[in-house]
Amino acid sequence: MEVIISPDTETASGAAARVVARLVREKPNAVLGLATGSTPLKLYRKLIQLHNEEELDFSEVTTFNLDEYVGLEKEHPQSYHAFMWEHLFSQINIKPENVHIPDGMAKDIPVFCAAYERAIAEAGGIDLQVLGIGSDGHIGFNEPTSSFASRTRIKTLTQQTVQDNARFFDGDESQVPHHCITMGIGTIMDAKRCIMLAFGEEKAEAIAATVEGPVASMVPASILQHHPNAKVFIDNPAAAGLKLSDYYRWVYDGKPDWQRDA
């Protein structure tokens, strides 16, 4: 795992955006796996900026989102559909038919999840998966003890995640759905590359456990230690628990630009 520690979220998001942009330039029909939540917002803003100012072209790009709440209509302001269209898709030239987000209103959830997995495979697999991390170490909505072999399926959120996400629902925990559809850890691990972003001291413990702790289903993100191409973009507060932070800085500072964006 490569750890890139930046002084602030702006710099970290810019570095992550350059990795995504380089892939899209090299492979215009790239398949991107995308995340929601507060963490990737600046990354998406940078991608919009690159689209507007440097003609970064998304016309052939296909996307698959990690997850969606069960029971929220696409039009619900807190649905991940609404989030993605508001914060990214409406501001780039992506084709709506190339966007895939789990359907939280699917009548037959297992059938829907199997079809989602098939669609990813038919698109050629995910070239680059963007990830955030929960304070409990979840990726997608794969909560602690999720199987490392899991595929897209329904999951129940932990109480911690419900509490964490209440901020998107006017602070009202009772409004946060308890179930979601999420790509599995096996689905995420099949992506050719993963980039994880994590900001703020509330993520420091999860990041330390992910990067330097034992690989364990209690910290789902720790499976990324087994991924052959995973980069973790964090700010100083999120790096606070890392024992080898000086080493990660030294490695990154010693890289030529072309290798940083690769």
Which residues of the chain form contacts with ligand F6R (CB under 6 A)?
35-39, 66-67, 132-134, 138-140
Where do the H-state alpha helices sit in the chain?
9-26, 41-54, 80-87, 109-122, 159-165, 185-189, 204-212, 245-253, 257-260
Residue 138 is a catalytic residue: yes
Minimum Å gap between C-beta 69 and ligand F6R is: 10
3-state secondary structure 7-59: CCHHHHHHHHHHHHHHHHHHCCCCEEEECCCCCCHHHHHHHHHHHHHHCCCCC
Nearest 5°: CA angle at 180, between 109 and 35? 115
Closest contact distance (angstroms) between CB of 162 and ligand F6R is 11
> What's the closest the beta carbon of residue 235 comes to ligand F6R, in angstroms?
13
Catalytic residue among 117, 143, 164, 190: 143
Closest to ligand F6R by CB, 33 vs 213, is: 33
Q: Of the residues 103, 117, 127, 136, which is catalytic?
A: 136
**Structure token pair of residue 33:** 């796996």
Least CB distance to ligand F6R at residue 257 (A): 28
170 is catalytic: no
For ligand F6R, which residue has the nearest CB?
Answer: 132
Nearer to ligand F6R, 94 or 139 (CB): 139
Q: Which is nearer to ligand F6R, 127 or 143 (CB)?
A: 143
- Annotated active-site residue 67? The verdict is yes
Q: Which active-site residues does the annotation give?
A: 67, 136, 138, 143
